[in-house]
Amino acid sequence: MVAAGGTIFDARRSFPWPGNAVLEVATVHVGRGYAGPVALDGNPVQAISSYLDDGAEERQPTRLAQNRGISYQGSIALGMGFVLPPEEAAELIRRNRLNAEHLSPYLGGEDVTTDPRQRAGRWTIYFGDMPLDEAESFPDLMAIVRERVAPERAKKKDKRIREKWWLYKRPTLPLYAGLAHLERVLVNNFTSKYGAFVFVPKDQIFSNAVNTFASDRFSAFAVLQSSVHEAWFLKHGSSMKTDPRYTPTTCFETFPLPASWLSDQTLEAVGSSYYEFRADLMVRNDEGLTKTYNRFHDPDERSSDILKLRELHAETDRAVLDAYGWADIPTDCEFLLDYEVEDEDEPGTRRKKKPWRYRWPDEVRDEVLARLLDLNQKRAAEEKFVGAKTPKPRPKKPRQKKPPAKPGTTASVAGLPLFDRSKS
């Protein structure tokens, strides 16, 4: 609407729905040719951008080719009948060890945020893109899918969903192929309060509530866990109610990474210190990522462990800023509200916990965001220039077509098998 000539002249970014539904809503007022006063969250401002920020409209970041193929949102099953308790999966493997070829731990969003060790609490049946005749050679698994998934799939309007009822709606084959050379994978939640990053074993299926990042380096953790990246994804991601949503296309593929982000030994060292301390802290306290970062962002929390975690976070921020060459940016954080919360005055009403975040002051955050956007535009221009200068291959003479590869074979994922549990 703004690009079409509209002016946002009043907006409230987040407040509780006044009815009975438990919702957070926003109101945005837009007009064409408006020249009156402008207010954001009830406060007069000069202008409101399409990000609902105080300020003029900003440039949009560009997706960078150098970031593609690294991060993926997990797979969409479209049928909870694929998902099994661990005991049932164990019994299927005991009955026939070949069943292990298409049974895998299933990592969901709650596993990532609540379990201190980020262990998958469920298993799943996963056939990749295997054709029906091959899948039928696993009768124990197909009997479950036929009983628990096929009836619901038959009600769907999408023809492919109905006809391919034994397959995930989105198996995300490139994700698993891209992890073949790694021992572990970096993940975060698609929707969460903090977007915290953590390493998990690669040999599992990731639900669509989990994002994956094809790196096992602590330097990658340092960059993505830093306040630099946090400011970027909070700016360019979306949200569910008041929780940020980390969408790989807008949060990672647009993010201009430091030039040496995977080889910088300082980043590797600070990332390792931060990660190992946090991992030990979660296990000792029997608390997952959400509870740990609730304490991290609580202005009343002064325990020695959390103070140390904040110190390590600041050291990581310093190393990441230095990797960009931005030694002039300070790392001091403050406890600031993500948004204003109206106090409830009615007797017996529970006061809503205020959304504190231990972060950079607005002026520091905005300066970093401006530099990142400049760097994004510079990288995009360089990629466009290189693309324009790359000679196009000469057209080849037509030749007789070969029969297409049979779907569901390892050729469909660059010759790399998804899993190999036959030796376990």
CA 157 to chain centre: 29
Q: Closest Cα partner for 329 from 377, 374, 372, 365?
A: 365
> Cα(283)–Cα(286) distance, rounded to whole angstroms?
5
Task: Give me the pLDDT at residue 38, please.
Answer: 83
Same domain, 371 and 229: yes
Same domain, 188 and 131: yes
Last residue of one domain, picked from the residues 194, 216, 238 = 216
Same domain, 46 and 80: no
Q: How many CB atoms lie within 10 A of CB 269?
A: 15
Same domain, 100 and 124: yes
> Cα(199)–Cα(147) distance, rounded to whole angstroms?
35
Task: Give me the pLDDT at residue 402, please.
Answer: 39
> Cα(73)–Cα(209) distance, rounded to whole angstroms?
7
Same domain, 242 and 321: yes
Same domain, 88 and 211: yes
- Phi and psi at residue 16, to the nearest 5°: -65, 140
Q: For residue 117, is it within any domain? A: yes
Last residue of one domain, picked from the residues 173, 190, 216 = 216
Q: For residue 255, is it within any domain? A: yes
Same domain, 50 and 82: no
Task: Give me the pLDDT at residue 406, please.
Answer: 36
Q: Which domain holds residue 303?
A: 225-341+354-387
Q: For residue 361, is it within any domain? A: yes
For residues 207 and 123, the answer to whether their CB atoms sit within 8 Å is no
Same domain, 270 and 181: no
Same domain, 46 and 109: no
Domain count, the chain: 3
- Phi and psi at residue 318, to the nearest 5°: -65, -45
Task: Give me the pLDDT at residue 2, please.
Answer: 81
Per-residue confidence in pLDDT tens, the chain, 424 aa: 887 878 887 888 767 777 776 666 788 999 887 878 888 888 887 687 776 767 555 678 999 999 999 999 999 999 999 999 999 999 999 999 999 999 999 999 999 999 999 999 999 999 999 999 999 999 999 999 999 999 999 999 999 999 999 999 999 999 999 999 999 999 999 998 899 999 999 999 999 999 999 999 999 999 999 999 999 999 999 876 668 999 999 999 999 999 989 999 999 999 999 999 999 999 999 999 999 999 999 999 999 999 999 999 999 999 999 999 999 999 999 999 987 666 555 554 445 678 899 999 999 999 999 999 999 999 999 999 988 555 555 554 444 443 433 333 333 333 323 334 333 3
Q: For residue 404, is it within any domain? A: no
> Cα(224)–Cα(337) distance, rounded to whole angstroms?
22
Q: For residue 349, is it within any domain? A: no
Task: Give me the pLDDT at residue 12, please.
Answer: 81
Q: For residue 155, is it within any domain? A: yes
Q: Where are the alpha helices (DSSP H) in 250-303?
A: 265-285, 289-296
Last residue of one domain, picked from the residues 170, 197, 216 = 216
Task: Give me the pLDDT at residue 390, please.
Answer: 52
Report how far apart the first and last C-alpha atoms of the chain are (Å, whole number): 56
Same domain, 175 and 231: no
CA distances from 400 to 171, 395, 403 (A): 31, 15, 10
> Cα(27)–Cα(20) distance, rounded to whole angstroms?
18
Same domain, 372 and 230: yes
Same domain, 295 and 197: no
Token representation of residue 47 = 């202008």
